[in-house]
Amino acid sequence: MSSWLDYTINGLIVGNVYALVAVGLALIFGVSRLINFAQGSIYLVGAYIGWVAVVQLHTPLPLTIIVVAVAAALVGLIIERFGLRPLQNSVRIAPLLATIGISFVLDQLVMLTFSPNPRALPSQLPDVRFQIGGGTIGPLDLLIAGVGITSALLLFVFLRYSKLGWAIRATAQDRDAAMQMGVDVNRVNQAVFGIAAALGGVSGLLVGMYYNQIDTAMSLQATLKGVVAEVVGGAGNVPGAVIGSLLLGLVESYGVAVFGTSYRNLFAFLLLVVVLVLRPNGLFASARQAPPEPLTGTFIAPSRPVRIPRWALLVATGIFAILPLLPVSFYVLQTLINAWLLGMLALSLTLVAGTIGQVSLGHAALLAIGAYTSALLSLTFAVPVGLAIIGGGLMSAALGTALISPSFRLRGHYVSIATLAIGEIVSLVILNWESVTRGPIGISGIPPLSLAGYELVSPISIYCFSFIVMVVLALLQGRLLGSHLGRSFRAIRDDDIAARAYGLSLNRYKSLAFIFGGFAAGVSGGIAAHLYSYINHETFNTQQSILALTVVILGGLGNVVGAIVGAVALVGLPEVFRIAAEYRILIYGIVLLLLVRFRPQGLLGTM
Amino acid sequence: MTNSPPDALLALTNVNTFYGQAQVHFDLSISVPRGHIVCLLGGNASGKSTTMKIILGLVKPRSGDVTFDGASLLGLTTPQIVRRGIASVPEARRLFADMTVRENILMGAFVRDDREAIAQDLDKMLTLFPKLGQRLSQRAGSLSGGEQQMVAMARALMSRPRMIVMDEPTMGLSPLYVDRVLELIRTINREGVSVFMVEQNASLALEIAHEAYVLQTGKIVLSGSARALKDDPRIRDAYLGGSEAA
């Protein structure tokens, strides 16, 4: 590939593939105001069903496409019926979290069934290329373009001329009014999920054939790209999603042409953040349109937090503090060290997501910033490790807050998307900024933990160190929540307009929350870097962000003690039950789903 | 126990409704006789709109019963209730703003499958609401408030309902349109459709209603024939600009 025409063709073809995912997301958002994070998993399932059909059953291409579309649609219907319909009357964040849980479960099931190794998915089409102008185009390109255009036309006709299509459009514009016309909203949801899943599944199949390879990492990437395209086009806007997808494909393709392959995703997420900040309703929304989000913070399940007497907390802290003196195995200490590190991250996230209501899906980026800062300070500038970790915390606080601050004007789901994108951007910058971060090689030989010249290498000393740091952070956060500042945070969460009317500066308080939260997460990342002695751009990934969110919801959003209890539970229980590593993510996904369905306020209640 | 009269098309009997801890309706009983216009009057936060939602199944009462043509509506979903023959003109009209006027009106016939009859009814609507004829392919959101009210009423009639429930049909309209809307409600009623409407503007509502109820913080404080209520000094003082300031 050399000519600009080639890059344009490639961009449009890839854009077509994104469109199949994004249109489904837009339909679902339109009808139920939900960003379906399981869309990429359906795409993944589609790719693997296609692989089974092509490689094992040797189906001809048209039949393969039909099989994939029907099977994926079934998966979509099952998700809607059993995963989301029971949540219809719960808090607004519940369905979003459920789709995240569902995507974990589906991805892991695919991985356990087919192994995480990539598989080749042959395209079944002759490998010839036609010359057009200065570029070339192959039969697969034409197939993808054909499928994209055909499904767009079919969808248009369906929405405009069929009764169900009218019902979908009416529901998207006013759900209650549609019900009063006799529209069965459950059927509309079903239809939309079925269509979205069929399109997503076929998209996965086509992508697999295009790159002649499928693997389980495709899922998250597809969701992210679909979300980018959908938001660029305007959430819920179906034609907008198509145009947003083509635009995204072109931006990526030209970005790759100029800077190289590893920049592809960076351009995608930068485009997303720019659109979110400048035109949160998408490129094509008219100015009069109100953002499709509730105006007040209905994100937290209301509950009365479980009161834990002070003496019980003191006793528990005391027991954990003297634990290393008791005859416990190193294995137990090791597990608890992991729990304390996750606990610090959870403290940070429970403040940001729970107390002030900004549900962050990119929190691992704060770990990464802290880890890289601390590692580089100690390696390059020979800063003592203790100070370097504090430096990591400060850097996470400063940089994290600076990165998120343009998105302070966003609300609800849009905050989640922005944080997710920023998390990805941080990871991609680490990957590409080789002169500082050493790029894909990562940083090795990070000095071990030490304090005032004494190296902390024994599990006991590491245990004590991490435990003390976490307790100090928790105490600080507890003080913070009881203060005037904590009340202001909660006021902003519960009703930002009312809070502003009372003279609270939203930006200032959001900054303060991210500064404090960024510091805690950065310290956690810093300690982790010195413990692991090797880190790279994938050490702190989206999976950890979601794990942290699960911990925080398990403990109860905003609940300081809950965050730590949640961390101990999610790190400890798989160890207690000796669950094999490959099943853990599956378990986390199931835990998240069950929590959202049966106990959205978590174990200890939201605060 | 106040038993609803046998000729009641719609009857609410001893309905108690709660939003969380807060009680909205206290033993609410209302009946709409076949072929009548019944009006529910009340100020802000009196529970008027919740009464509409109870009838349409959007909110479920904690106790009491709602019957339509003798059969209870309580176990039914909103679409099922609509199929029984109740159409609604919601508060603030709630049109499908990005769909055309034509599509909006036809959405009213969503529960019907008789294509030819639907087309005939659409023509009928255009004679009843002549202004909409030139607006058919326009976005509903681009119409004026009064025109939107016409669309909402046409949309409700398209399901060939036995009864229409209306939430403040005159709110926010210019005086010209207020008269027009009231006249249309009368016309609709004369063709055999029973009407239940919720209104703040008592003097207007009592012009066209047969019976009226007055709701105050969830309790019916006054009811009777519209004619009698119009002369009732309590109504005059509360709603019709009586001599003393309230």
Binary contact (A173, B96; C-beta < 8 A): yes
Per DSSP bridges, beta strands B163-167 and B86-89 are parallel
Decide if A164 touches B, using CB distance below 8 A.
no
Tell me the C-alpha distance between A417 and A227, whole Å.
Answer: 8
Tell me the C-alpha distance between B29 and B13, whole Å.
Answer: 4
Residue-level pLDDT at A578? 77
Is residue A210 scored above 60 in pLDDT?
Answer: yes
pLDDT digit string, tens, across residues A438-475: 988 999 999 998 887 788 888 888 999 999 999 999 99
Tell the residue number behind the tokens 């990492």, with chain if given: A217
Residue-level pLDDT at B154? 94
A369, A430 contact by CB (below 8 A) = no
Cβ-based neighbours of A214, under 8 Å, separated by 6 or more: A44, A47, A48, A51, A118, A119, A121, A204, A207, A208
Tell the residue number behind the tokens 């098309």, with chain if given: B9
Binary contact (A170, B56; C-beta < 8 A): no
Distinct helix (H) and strand (E) counts, chain A: 24, 4
Tell me the C-alpha distance between A212 and A100, whole Å.
Answer: 27
pLDDT digit string, tens, across residues A309-357: 889 999 999 998 888 888 888 888 999 999 999 999 999 999 999 888 8
In 3D, which of A385, A375, A394, A397 has the Cα closest to residue A449? A385
Chain A: nearest CA to B134, how far in angstroms?
21
Class of domain B1-83+163-246 (CATH, top level):
alpha beta
B94 closest CB neighbour out of A169, A177, A184: A177
Stated as kind and residue range, the H or E segment containing A310 is: helix A310-322
Residue-level pLDDT at B7? 76
Is residue A166 scored above 60 in pLDDT?
Answer: yes
Binary contact (B82, A167; C-beta < 8 A): no
Residue of chain A nearest B52, judged by CA positions: A180
Is residue B236 scored above 90 in pLDDT?
Answer: no
Binary contact (B78, A173; C-beta < 8 A): no
pLDDT digit string, tens, across residues B51-110: 999 999 999 999 999 999 999 999 999 999 999 999 999 988 899 998 999 999 999 999
Q: Which two structure tokens, joined as six digits, stand for A576?
A: 């207690």
Residue of chain B nearest A177, judged by CA positions: B94
What does the domain layout of chain B look like in residue ranges? 1-83+163-246, 86-160
Tell me the C-alpha distance between A372 and A395, whole Å.
Answer: 10
**Which pLDDT band, with edges at 50, 70 and 90, does A506 fall under?**
confident
Chain B: nearest CA to A240, how far in angstroms?
15
**Which pLDDT band, with edges at 50, 70 and 90, does A287 fall under?**
very low
Binary contact (B110, A182; C-beta < 8 A): yes
Q: Would you call B196 helix, strand, or coil by DSSP?
A: strand
Average model confidence (pLDDT) for chain A? 89
Decide if A177 touches B, using CB distance below 8 A.
yes
Chain B: nearest CA to A357, how far in angstroms?
23
Provide, rounded to the nearest whole percent, the portion of chain A with pLDDT above 70: 97
Residue of chain A nearest B55, judged by CA positions: A180
Decide if B206 touches A, using CB distance below 8 A.
no
Ramachandran angles phi, psi of B221, nearest 5°: -105, -15
Binary contact (A182, B155; C-beta < 8 A): no
A574, A587 contact by CB (below 8 A) = yes
- Which chain A residues are within 8 Å of B157, Cβ to Cβ? none
A183 closest CB neighbour out of B79, B95, B98: B79
Decide if B76 touches A, using CB distance below 8 A.
no
Tell the residue number behind the tokens 């189906």, with chain if given: A59
Tell me the C-alpha distance between A224 and A241, whole Å.
Answer: 13
Average model confidence (pLDDT) for chain B? 89
Decide if B219 touches A, using CB distance below 8 A.
no
Binary contact (B96, A180; C-beta < 8 A): no
Instruction: Report the pLDDT averaged over residues A192-219.
Output: 93
- Which chain A residues are within 8 Å of B20, Cβ to Cβ? none
Binary contact (A182, B98; C-beta < 8 A): no
Ramachandran angles phi, psi of A448, nearest 5°: -70, 165
Number of Cβ atoms within 10 Å of the Cβ of B38: 25
Residue-level pLDDT at B245? 37
Stated as kind and residue range, the H or E segment containing A132 is: strand A130-132
Q: Which two structure tokens, joined as six digits, stand for B185?
A: 């409600």
Decide if A162 touches B, using CB distance below 8 A.
no
Q: Which of B50, B100, B107 has the highest number of chain A CBs within 10 A, making it the mutation to test binding with A?
A: B107
Decide if A176 touches B, using CB distance below 8 A.
yes
Decide if A178 touches B, using CB distance below 8 A.
yes
C-alpha separations of A54 from A59, A118, A141, A491, B162 in Å: 5, 15, 19, 56, 57
Is residue A110 scored above 90 in pLDDT?
Answer: yes
pLDDT digit string, tens, across residues B141-185: 999 988 999 999 999 999 999 999 999 998 888 888 898 899 999
C-alpha separations of A143 from A21, A150, A244, A513, A581 in Å: 16, 10, 21, 50, 40
Binary contact (A184, B77; C-beta < 8 A): yes
Residue of chain B nearest A183, judged by CA positions: B79
Instruction: Report the pLDDT averaged over residues A393-405.
Output: 94
Is residue B5 scored above 60 in pLDDT?
Answer: no
Binary contact (A177, B56; C-beta < 8 A): no
Decide if B78 touches A, using CB distance below 8 A.
yes
Binary contact (A176, B94; C-beta < 8 A): yes
A238, A30 contact by CB (below 8 A) = yes
A45, A71 contact by CB (below 8 A) = yes
A380, A509 contact by CB (below 8 A) = no
- Which chain A residues are within 8 Å of B99, Cβ to Cβ? 166, 169-170, 173
Tell me the C-alpha distance between B68 and B81, whole Å.
Answer: 9
Chain B: nearest CA to A155, how far in angstroms?
17
Q: Which two structure tokens, joined as six digits, stand for A268?
A: 């995608």
A425, A399 contact by CB (below 8 A) = no
Residue type, A42: I
Number of Cβ atoms within 10 Å of the Cβ of A472: 12
- Which chain A residues are within 8 Å of B155, Cβ to Cβ? 181
Instruction: Report the pLDDT averaged over residues A133-156.
Output: 88
Instruction: Report the pLDDT averaged over residues B39-54.
Output: 88
- Which chain B residues are within 8 Å of A162, Cβ to Cβ? none
Binary contact (A178, B96; C-beta < 8 A): yes
Is residue A135 scored above 80 in pLDDT?
Answer: no
Indicate the range of A99-103, A321-325, B213-217 predicted with least confidence: A321-325
Tell me the C-alpha distance between A451 and A469, whole Å.
Answer: 12
**Which pLDDT band, with edges at 50, 70 and 90, does A288 fall under?**
very low
Binary contact (A178, B106; C-beta < 8 A): no
Binary contact (B78, A180; C-beta < 8 A): yes
* All domains of chain A in start order, with CATH: 14-122+137-226 (no CATH), 310-598 (1.10.3470)
Indicate the range of A211-215, A583-587, B59-63 predicted with least confidence: A583-587
Binary contact (A169, B106; C-beta < 8 A): no
Binary contact (B94, A184; C-beta < 8 A): no
- Which chain B residues are within 8 Å of A169, Cβ to Cβ? 96, 98-99
Binary contact (B159, A183; C-beta < 8 A): no
Tell the residue number behind the tokens 């206290």, with chain if given: B26
ipTM for this prediction: 0.89
Q: Could you tell me the sign of the dihedral formed by the alpha carbons of A543, A547, A552, A554, in that order?
A: positive
Decide if B141 touches A, using CB distance below 8 A.
no
Decide if B31 touches A, using CB distance below 8 A.
no
DSSP state, B162? S
Residue-level pLDDT at A250? 93
